[in-house]
Amino acid sequence: MKAVFINQIGGVEALQYGDFEKPSPATGQVLVKLAASGVNYIDTYHRGGLYKIPLPAVLGTEGAGVVEALGEGVTEFKRGDRVAYAMSRGSYAEYAAVPVNNLVHVPEGVELLTAAAAMLQGMTAHYLTHTTFPLAQSHTALVHAAAGGTGRLVVQMAKLRGARVIATTGSAAKAEVARKAGADEVILYNDVDFVGEVKRLTGGKGVDVVYDGVGQATFLKSLDCLRPRGMMVFFGQSSGPVAPIDPLVLMSKGALFLTRPSLANYGSREEVLRQSGDVFRWILEKKLDLLIGRVYPLSDAAQAHRDLEGRKTTGKLVLEI
């Protein structure tokens, strides 16, 4: 089969497109003939070695396609079913063997390209806004990188929960994307001090929660945006890793809560079905607007990585297979 893989960690140049051994479904797995794969920051972490994986390795942790074959013991799916999944590596390929616990049915009316784009970021935005810090009408949330794939969905789901949303973006064009997603206020963090703006917009009180997928460039200043006993939800590091922090800093800034969640920690079978079910339902009901920023052929995965890491994108990047 054709796939995009790495034999060693490194930059974009480490990505190779070519022939790779086609997987066979083991017990409890399904072989999926993929139609599309989502592109996510975690893929760059695997490629660059921030998250260690066995090599050689096919990249990609999210895809959608059609069931080709069933491993032993699989009864929930059948050949020909339209399916999607996240958190199983190997989606930059024509075929992937996927554990049943990660796999869900794609409802009629949702295209496979859309399903591939919605799973990882959609379920991430869901657990952030519904479980990690369950938003309510009384809450104000600060959402960084609000025009990106995950950030834009966090904004929309926060509004579905009735919360007030203050968003940050890096340009006026991206600010407009965040506003269209429902952000009540948008701060251009390259132009103004976002801490001062947050304090001004909240009457000096600070926000209840910060959703930060940026990391190094925003982390410490974000702590100063929180009200006493507010929660810092640090779920990604697109600008680089955060330096170690003394827990006493959390006390001095108001007895703050800090969590570093991942989808894997919110990935029980029950949670996967609930999160993906809500995401697909909201898409069909047009309550959730999924923005696919660009679609690339599988062979152009390297360019997708360049664009993602260069912050040249809005919305979701997808590989068509």
Q: Is residue 234 assigned to a domain?
A: yes
Q: How confident is the model at residue 243 (pLDDT cuts 50, 70, 90)?
A: confident
Q: Is the pLDDT of residue 264 over 80?
A: yes
45 and 12 within one domain? yes
* CA–CA dist 227, 253 (Å, integer): 9
| Residue 256 confidence (pLDDT) | 98
Q: What is the DSSP string of 225-286?
A: TEEEEEEEEE---TT-PPPP--HHHHHHTTS-EEE---GGGG--HHHHHHHHHHHHHHHHTT
Q: Is residue 280 assigned to a domain?
A: no
**Cβ contact 59:4 at 8 Å:** yes
Q: How confident is the model at residue 126 (pLDDT cuts 50, 70, 90)?
A: very high
228 and 183 within one domain? yes
Q: Is residue 128 assigned to a domain?
A: no
Percent of the chain with pLDDT over 90: 91
Q: Is residue 284 assigned to a domain?
A: no
- Across 88-116, average pLDDT: 98
| Residue 313 confidence (pLDDT) | 76
Looking at the 3D structure of the chain, how many domains does it have?
2
Q: Is the pLDDT of residue 162 over 90?
A: yes
- Across 293-304, average pLDDT: 97
147 and 253 within one domain? yes
177 and 114 within one domain? no
| Residue 217 confidence (pLDDT) | 81
* CATH number, residue 238: 3.40.50.720
| Residue 265 confidence (pLDDT) | 94
| Residue 242 confidence (pLDDT) | 85
106 and 146 within one domain? no
Q: Is residue 268 assigned to a domain?
A: no
Q: Is the pLDDT of residue 311 over 90?
A: no
* CA–CA dist 282, 137 (Å, integer): 19
Q: Which two tokens stand for residue 309?
A: 């890491």
214 and 168 within one domain? yes
Peptide bond before residue 247 is cis, with ω within 30 degrees of 0 = no
**71-75, 230-234, 237-241: least confidently modelled range:** 237-241
* CA–CA dist 19, 132 (Å, integer): 41
Q: Is the pLDDT of residue 173 over 80?
A: yes
Q: Is residue 160 assigned to a domain?
A: yes
The predicted-structure confidence for 181-226, as pLDDT tens digits, reads as follows 999 999 999 899 999 999 999 999 999 999 999 888 889 999 999 9
Q: How confident is the model at residue 66 (pLDDT cuts 50, 70, 90)?
A: very high
**Cβ contact 201:167 at 8 Å:** no
Q: How confident is the model at residue 236 (pLDDT cuts 50, 70, 90)?
A: confident
Percent of the chain with pLDDT over 70: 100
What sign results for the dihedral spanned by CA atoms 240, 246, 247, 249? negative
232 and 199 within one domain? yes
> What values do phi and psi take at 230, rounded to 5?
-75, 170
The predicted-structure confidence for 192-201, as pLDDT tens digits, reads as follows 999 999 999 9
Name the helix (H) or strand (E) containing 16. strand 16-19
Q: Is the pLDDT of residue 129 over 90?
A: yes
196 and 87 within one domain? no
193 and 155 within one domain? yes
**Mean pLDDT score of the chain, rounded to an integer?**
96
Q: Is residue 132 assigned to a domain?
A: no
Q: Is the pLDDT of residue 20 over 90?
A: yes
Q: Is the pLDDT of residue 174 over 80?
A: yes
Domain that holds residue 24: 2-118+291-320
237 and 152 within one domain? yes
> What values do phi and psi take at 258, rounded to 5?
-130, 130
| Residue 288 confidence (pLDDT) | 97
